[in-house]
């Protein structure tokens, strides 16, 4: 960037440039700079609003939640929540560890994706879930990046979340879940 001072004429590339006040910026240098700075601040602000925030939980597939005692001994505490997700045909138990959670998944019948996963791969880590502020916006952003999702729209999942999964063929074989907390209305 070239700064000019006090009504002086300066010759640059055989052109005469006269500034009108102290420290004017040569127009051809200013516009690209502003464009870059505006884009930088735009993308920086946008990243704070839409980025994947944290690991929400790690999902572990197991044949039977009666084996939960192994994890209770490991973590030194009981699950804070056990629930059934009818739409996914699973029973789910959650342990909170710091800012993240461990989700234990038990199939309730043979139609469950977890049942099919265990039949094919055995028990173990099933997916990694990431927390997002706006799941629909994040889905659209990732679709533009070439990712495909298991469901066309987010679904209600366990632990008061809207969820969707990125197909593992786009993530090196890892099943990635996006989670957005469902905001409950406050009584006031």
Residue 177 burial class via C-beta count within 10 angstroms: exposed 0-12, middle 13-18, buried 19 and up: buried
pLDDT level of residue 184 (50, 70, 90 thresholds): confident
Per the domain annotation, does 76 fall within a domain?
Answer: yes
Task: Kindly state the DSSP code that residue 149 receives in the 8-state scheme.
Answer: B
Per the domain annotation, does 164 fall within a domain?
Answer: yes
Same domain, 11 and 80: no
Same domain, 18 and 42: yes
Give the number of other Cβ atoms within 10 Å of residue 134's Cβ: 14
Same domain, 94 and 159: yes
Domain that holds residue 83: 54-181
Q: What is the mean pLDDT of the chain?
A: 80
Same domain, 79 and 63: yes
Same domain, 40 and 117: no
Q: What are 111-129's pLDDT values in tens digits?
A: 999 999 999 999 999 999 9
Three-state secondary-structure class, residue 104: strand
Considering its fold, how many domains does the chain have in total?
A: 2
Query: Could you give the CA distance from residue 36 to residue 129 in angstroms, rounded to a whole number?
Result: 34
Q: What are 10-32's pLDDT values in tens digits?
A: 444 444 444 333 334 444 444 44
């Amino acid at each position: 960037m070239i700064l000019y001072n006090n009504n002086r004429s300066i010759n640059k590339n055989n052109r005469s440039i006269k500034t009108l006040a102290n420290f004017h910026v040569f127009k051809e240098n200013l516009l690209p700079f502003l464009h870059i700075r505006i884009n930088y601040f735009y993308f920086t602000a946008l990243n704070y609003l839409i980025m994947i925030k944290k690991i929400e939980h790690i999902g572990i597939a197991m044949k039977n939640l009666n084996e939960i005692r192994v994890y209770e001994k490991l973590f030194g505490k009981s699950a804070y929540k056990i629930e059934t997700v009818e739409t996914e045909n699973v029973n789910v138990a959650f342990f909170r560890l710091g800012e993240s959670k461990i989700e234990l998944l038990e199939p309730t019948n043979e139609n469950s994706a977890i049942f099919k996963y265990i039949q094919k791969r055995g028990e173990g880590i099933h997916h990694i879930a990431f927390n997002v502020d706006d799941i629909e916006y994040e889905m659209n952003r990732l679709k533009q990046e070439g990712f495909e999702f298991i469901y066309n729209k987010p679904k209600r999942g366990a632990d008061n979340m809207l969820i969707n999964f990125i197909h593992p063929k786009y993530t090196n074989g890892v099943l990635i879940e996006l989670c957005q907390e469902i905001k409950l209305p406050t009584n006031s």
